[in-house]
Structure 1
């Protein structure tokens, strides 16, 4: 059951109370099999619980990330929060205007044009025709659909679907925005535009619930992350801790239930040894520009926290290109820096003077190692930075390449 709360802003914007969702899986798929098995139907079906006794409270103005292996219940939970599906047991309470991007093309009619679908989708989200008309040009400009706005959407590419759906969703003035992995479909420029819009929503105090397999989005954008596995919440807290647990090998236990509890305990134990709390990419002046130039000084700072004393520790850094290929990397140990005992917070700093990166986008992965060199925390793609293209050579390394030619003998 989904209801709407209409009380003051002090009330949580979403409250999920003991929600479970059961689906029935049939094993007799054809009509013939069902006729032959008539009267014995229960032997050929089984219950599947996509969600099991979920209790959550989401405060206004927060950004929550839902992560977990495929089939863990993330999308089902998001749909239950959005009222798209009704829980089998329990209830969901919600307040304020909501906009949802849950599935590619959801809410669009394939035989209608993009223009007609804008009005249809906006009306579903609660906007009047007059309100939609007042926002239409902004929606069109944001989507970049241009001349295709009067084309039937069944001829749209997946990227065009997402562009138009996201443009409508962010212009209905939502208090609560639900986003389910659809941003992965758009091109890089549009993804950046969407992420900038989400950050603007955060600055305005709106609430966002985000499902993403891009864990760097979780650590960079979310104030809280929830790890789901087999329909249950296994962790709810700091995004870096959540990502560490997911990356610790716990995700693989979806295929090995017998070891799930042991793996989870080991993952939580690693979190207790140490955490990566933040990663920043800065220039020589200590600022974080939108883009660097080749030859700029680049500093990467890593905030770590060690609750229990480590007799020794070290930090590792990988800088990758968008394909995940290593461009450069090092550890404090490989740079001949020995770090003594640590308990509590610390900041590790890698400095790349006059960094010769070529134009492009780069991802930063960092890891925290313990007393015996074992990895106790990792933040993959925890930060990104770009280097502008100023001509000349291209690729991950900017070289002082020259050219000459000879004509004739």
Structure 2
């Protein structure tokens, strides 16, 4: 087996939190300074191997340790315990404008940033025009970067990083700063790196972005790895954590108030004749009915609906009662909310159903995910998220 490009062995990282930031706090803690400090464990016994050519997505809740782990991998911060091994040239795009000096021009910062990434002046000369073209900075390349917008910052920083010929590219959430055309350009560059066999570690809060480009997902929760493997399963683990936290936030309520105002008991899918769908692949053009079986526990205004998504978490179709102009009963009781979907033609073999309810202001009440699956027959002609009874012809071109 090939030696991994990155090996993280039982790594931990602690930060000291200081409470004596004001004069009042310093007076309060002056007799015992130890009480003014507390340890925060950002990473706890993390072990991880990343092989050559992998694209790994680091995902998790805010504060779960994703960015800290990325900085430990890049050598930006030192681990409190454990060992970190790396091979090859590393390009890290971790913070907006990191490695840039505000009083230097864009041109000067390109050479400074490239030097920090291990490039010689001759190496930078060879790719300088490509960096400027990729970033789209144009005539502003000779302006001081302190006058740049946040988008210009990240475009130039990313351009330098991807033209440094890295073996390992570390990318934090900074890509969210760029505009849509630049984000597309970045994703295309990442896919080019994948084809070239380079290794990429990406931190993102976008499950769809991770599902789109990553070959592996690592889910962090409270500084520990709770999943390392398939992207689809990783996204499910992440969303289960979101739901767990939501329920925990409701745990301070007592008695009947602990129950959500609306509960989703189950979801059933039938064909036009009312027969349950399952057992056999669903054919193109089948009429379906999705029925959400809900219980209103306390009088409330509510909206319900469902989502069909791929096993990797890509949303394929969404529908809710608000979109259809349906007013739901507010009185406590059991209700069946039925959605008719005529002539379905999904081209994805397996779709995962989730169903939920929100209040009148759109705040989440409850979520059932997954609520079931739909298996569709293979598209005999094409590929994609939908399928058609396609035909084709060829005729001679008339001059």
TM bracket (short chain) = 0.5 to 0.7
Q: Classify 1:79/1:304 alpha carbon distance in 2 versus 1 (closer, same or farther; 3 Å).
A: closer
CA displacement at 1:247 relative to structure 2: 1.7
Q: Classify 1:250/1:106 alpha carbon distance in 2 versus 1 (closer, same or farther; 3 Å).
A: same
Q: Classify 1:138/1:229 alpha carbon distance in 2 versus 1 (closer, same or farther; 3 Å).
A: same
| 2:218–2:228 contact (8 Å) kept in structure 1 | yes
| 2:88–2:166 contact (8 Å) kept in structure 1 | yes
Could you tell me how far apart the structure 1 residues matched to 2:249 and 2:156 are?
41
Farther off after superposition, 247-256 or 130-139: 247-256
Q: How does 1:226-245 map to 2 (within 5 A)?
A: 226-245=218-237
CA displacement at 1:246 relative to structure 2: 1.3
CA displacement at 1:222 relative to structure 2: 0.6
CA displacement at 1:334 relative to structure 2: 3.4
Which residue of 144, 156, 162 corresponds with 1:170? 162
| SS in structure 2 of the partner of residue 334 of structure 1 | strand
Which residue of 1 is the match for residue 65 of structure 2? 73
Which residue of 2 is the match for residue 376 of structure 1? 370
| 2:96–2:153 contact (8 Å) kept in structure 1 | yes
Which residue of 2 is the match for residue 272 of structure 1? none
| 1:318–1:366 contact (8 Å) kept in structure 2 | no
Structure 1 unaligned regions, length at least 5: 1-8, 260-300, 306-315, 338-347, 352-364, 386-409
1:60 aligns with 2:42: no
| SS in structure 1 of the partner of residue 341 of structure 2 | coil
Question: Between Structure 1 and Structure 2, how many residues are aligned?
Answer: 291
| 1:244–1:377 contact (8 Å) kept in structure 2 | no
| 2:151–2:177 contact (8 Å) kept in structure 1 | yes
Which residue of 2 is the match for residue 34 of structure 1? 26
Could you tell me how far apart the structure 1 residues matched to 2:87 and 2:371 are?
37
| 2:6–2:51 contact (8 Å) kept in structure 1 | yes
Which residue of 1 is the match for residue 3 of structure 2? 11
Larger Rg: 2
CA displacement at 1:53 relative to structure 2: 0.5
Q: Classify 1:88/1:244 alpha carbon distance in 2 versus 1 (closer, same or farther; 3 Å).
A: same
Which residue of 346, 351, 366 corresponds with 1:350? 346
Could you tell me how far apart the structure 1 residues matched to 2:216 and 2:323 are?
29
CA displacement at 1:236 relative to structure 2: 1.1
Q: What per-residue deviation string (whole Å, max 9, x for no partner) do you get for residues 69-113 of structure 1?
A: 101100000000000000001111000111010000000001110
Q: Classify 1:377/1:85 alpha carbon distance in 2 versus 1 (closer, same or farther; 3 Å).
A: farther
| 1:69–1:251 contact (8 Å) kept in structure 2 | no
Which residue of 2 is the match for residue 280 of structure 1? none
Could you tell me how far apart the structure 1 residues matched to 2:198 and 2:90 are?
10
1:138 aligns with 2:137: no
Which residue of 2 is the match for residue 155 of structure 1? 147
Which residue of 367, 372, 377 corresponds with 2:352? 367
1:334 aligns with 2:334: no
CA displacement at 1:248 relative to structure 2: 2.7
Q: How does 1:205-284 map to 2 (within 5 A)?
A: 205-250=197-242, 253=245, 256=248
CA displacement at 1:375 relative to structure 2: 3.9
CA displacement at 1:206 relative to structure 2: 0.3
